[in-house]
Each structure stands twice: as C-alpha cells, then as structure tokens.
Amino acid sequence: MSPATQLDRDRVRELFDLRGSYLIQTGGDYEDDPYPIWHRLRAQAPVQPGTVHELTGYPRQAVFHGLPEPDREHFSAFGFAACDSAYRNPEVFVSAPHPVDPNQGPVGASNSMLAMNGIQHRRYRALVQPSFTPANAGWWISHWIERTVHELIDGFIDAGRAELNVDFCAAIPVLTITGSFGVPVDQALEIRAALHRPDRVVELIGPLVAARRESPCDDLLSVLAQAELPGEDGTPERLTDAEIHSFAVLLLTAGSGTTWKQMGITLTALLQRPELLEAIRADRTLLRPAIDEALRWQPTDPMFSRYVMRDIDFHGVHLPEGAVLHLGVAAANRDPARWPDPDVYDITRKPRPSFAFGSGAHACLGMHVAKAEMATGIGALLDRLPNLRLDPDAPPPRVIGLYERGATEIPVLFG
C-alpha cells in the first residue's frame, strides 16, 4: 500500500494548515503581506526595540524561537548587515541563554543540539553532519524521497487535479524523515502530531532505538544509535537514549515542519508565472536557481532569535545583557543594500548567500536534504503532469502566516 492511500488527508490538512489550531500560535492567522512594513521598519533603523510581531502590527501573542520570554527586553533586526553581524558573533549572540544537557530535563528540541553553544554544539553536530552533506543527498533521494514522491503522484494522477499542499508538499518531508527513522507510514502523522508531547514520541521511537542498537540498518536512526562521543577521559561513549530522543525530536520537528511550506511557496511562485514554469520544464538547470530564489524571496521561517550574553552597542542600539535579539531574516533577505529590486522573484539574479537557512554555526543542518526534496518533488511533477496549471475555478493560493509562512491550498489541473 502506498503512502498516498495510507495517509489520512483530513489529518494532514489539520496538521499542515497554518490557520489551524496546531500552528495558530506562531501567527498562522496573519494574512497580510508583511514586507512593506518590514521595508519601512528597516528604513527607519536596522535594529529597533520590540518583537517582530509587535512591530509588524500583529495584535496577539505569538510563540516562536526566543518568544514569549516576557521577563526579557526584546529587540528586532531588519537589515542584512545587522543580522550578519549577530550571526558572526556567537560569543555575544547565542541560541539559548543557559547550558543544556539532554540527559537532564525534558526530552525536546529545546534540550537538544539546537540550544547548544560552542564546543558542545560542535561535538554533537559532528555526529550527524556527515548524513546531511550535499554528497549524501543522493542517499536520501534513493532511500526515501524519490519513492515517496512518485507514490504520492500515483495517488492523484488519474484524477486530473490535485491540491498540492495536502496531496503532495505536506506529505513528502514527514514521510522522508519518519522513513529515515524506520517509523511505519501509518504512524507518520501520529508522530508529527506528538511533537508537542515528547513522551509520546519517546514511546514510538524508543523500541526502534533499541532495535537499531542491536541490529543497525542503513538509516538515520542507526547513525544515532551507533554514534559515539568522546567522554571526559577521551574514551568513546555511545549516545544515551535520552540524547537520541532529543536528537530525534529536533530532527522530526525540523524535517517535517519547514520543507513542506517552502515547497508550497516555491510551487505557488512558479504556478503564478506559467511562462517560468514552462521554461523550467524545458530546461531543468533552471530549477535549482528557482528554488534558491524562492528561499531568498519568501523564506518559510522569517525570524530566529539570539540571546544577548553581555551589554553591547549594536547598529545604533544598546542591547543589555539578558535581552533577546530577533533576527528578521526574511526582511534581511530583501535588503535593497544587498539585492537590487529585492521584492522581485527573479531566478536570473546573481546568486548571493541569503539567510533562508540561517547562518553561522547553527545554519540549518538539513538544508541540502530540503533542497533535494524540493528539486525531486517539483521535477517529478513536471515530468509526470503535462500542462500543470492552477485551477482557474478555485481560489488562488496565497502566502500567509507570520513566524511560519506558507501557502494556502494549491489547487491544480493537469493533462
């Protein structure tokens, strides 16, 4: 049975709709275009007091990395140079204000490599970095991505129509990352829904970790189960179950929580520009630039935060020790000081690194896998769905959300 027939579409829609209860806390009900506001804010000053959502005019509380933290002072950076300065100064601007230990405290992404700094972060990241290099993208494609992509298309190709956000984009990353852990397809959505209940994730992952310790397979969970860190005396030590569980929650959160939105954003941009979509169909070397430009132009996560470890004068503002600096990476990605005509989606512009995957030591571990998922998925749609186009009788897709941005429904016809 293929993933297309095993996944509950209603459950997928519930879990992967920014406007639904599962994602509303990140500002999923924000439906305006924030970029004109961010341009105005950046022109006023590259760094300003306040949070990104407050300064944008969002009237409710929003939760994301570095938020809500009500007892700290908050500042937000909107210029490229300011964000770049923060990423290049990891001694002052850290991803978490206190040391973490996966063997102490709750299982979760906030008690994982994501919240580590300095040497500790480098040691843990080195364990899994080889599995996520560009050279290993083919391992992900051949093991999980390609099969998932084509089985999903098999599920709707005969209908002549699809809603690509649910039928395609949302399913690919969650099935890829759960597949790399050996999680059965019928549990993939359950484990996605349980990310806010780490105890349930442990229930699902724990037996698989034990099995991989005994009999390693060619998958990511085996990499974690067999990985070793040098102990205090230099003797290699296997990761503990608690360390693996926190790693797993982090990878599941990142692996199933961002790529689907970015793929939907990219597809929306291309479907709204039919001549560009056809140019890519004819010349697949244009697909990678199209993905990279979408990442700059409309990154799915427009903000990340850093905690200020000592007083510092920073781009015209004094940041006190203990404050939170929110890096408006989406605003920085449209800084006209770095990109001419930054609001234009232009796949022919000269490539320059953006902040779509962050920067510095904490740059997204899975960026190359994410790009492989998007390139494989969009390429397969162009290979198999002739005359792919937006459904003219359905509402057109829009990009919504504040701290997680993504497309609404993407209704298409083909054939």
Distances (CA, A) of 169 to 42, 70, 204, 373: 32, 35, 24, 9
Question: What are the extents of the domains in the chain?
Answer: 3-413
Q: Is the per-residue pLDDT at 1 higher than 60?
A: no
What mean pLDDT is predicted for residues 262-267? 97
Confidence of residue 2 (pLDDT cuts 50, 70, 90): low
3-state secondary structure of 50: coil
Q: Write 55-61 long-range contacts (CB < 8 A, 24+).
A: 56/30, 56/402, 58/27, 58/30, 58/402, 60/27
3-state secondary structure of 42: helix
What is the chain's alpha carbon radius of gyration, rounded to the nearest angstrom?
A: 21
- For 333, the token pair is 């990605």
- If one compares 258 and 83, the residue with the highest pLDDT of the two is 83
What mean pLDDT is predicted for residues 364-385? 94
**pLDDT, tens digit, for every residue of 125-170?**
887 788 788 888 888 899 899 999 999 999 999 999 999 998 899 9
- If one compares 377 and 362, the residue with the highest pLDDT of the two is 377
Q: Is the per-residue pLDDT at 64 higher than 80?
A: yes
Q: What percent of the chain has pLDDT over 70?
A: 98
Please check whether residue 396 is in contact with residue 339, taking contact to mean a CB–CB distance below 8 angstroms: no
Indicate the average pLDDT of the chain: 91
- For 407, the token pair is 């497309």
**pLDDT, tens digit, for every residue of 104-117?**
878 877 878 888 88
What mean pLDDT is predicted for residues 86-102? 92
Task: Report the candidate in 10, 6, 2, 1 with the shortest Cα–Cα distance to residue 186.
Answer: 6
Task: Report the candidate in 413, 411, 380 with the shortest Cα–Cα distance to residue 398.
Answer: 411
- The predicted structure's pLDDT at residue 252: 83
Please check whether residue 48 is in contact with residue 55, taking contact to mean a CB–CB distance below 8 angstroms: yes
Q: Is the per-residue pLDDT at 232 higher than 80?
A: no
**pLDDT, tens digit, for every residue of 45-54?**
999 999 999 9
**pLDDT, tens digit, for every residue of 273-326?**
999 999 999 999 999 999 999 999 999 999 999 999 999 999 999 999 999 999
- The predicted structure's pLDDT at residue 212: 92
53-89 as b/e: b if 16+ CB within 10 A = bebbebeeebebbbbeeeebebbbbbbbebbbbbbee
What mean pLDDT is predicted for residues 176-201? 85
Greatest Cα-to-Cα distance within the chain, rounded to the nearest angstrom: 67
- The predicted structure's pLDDT at residue 38: 98
Q: State in words which class domain 3-413 has.
A: mainly alpha
Give the highest mean pLDDT range of 103-107, 119-123, 309-313, 355-359: 309-313
- The predicted structure's pLDDT at residue 408: 94
Give the highest mean pLDDT range of 2-11, 190-199, 305-314: 305-314
Distances (CA, A) of 300 to 84, 179, 294: 19, 23, 10
For Cα atoms 126, 363, 361, give the angle at the middle one, nearest 5 degrees: 60
Q: Is the per-residue pLDDT at 4 higher than 60?
A: no
- The predicted structure's pLDDT at residue 124: 80
Q: What percent of the chain has pLDDT over 90?
A: 61
* Secondary structure of 126-145 as H, E, C letters: HHHHHHHCHHHHHHHHHHHH
What is the pTM for the complete model shown? Answer: 0.93
* Half-sphere CA count of 361, side-chain side, radius 13 A: 23
What mean pLDDT is predicted for residues 201-218? 90
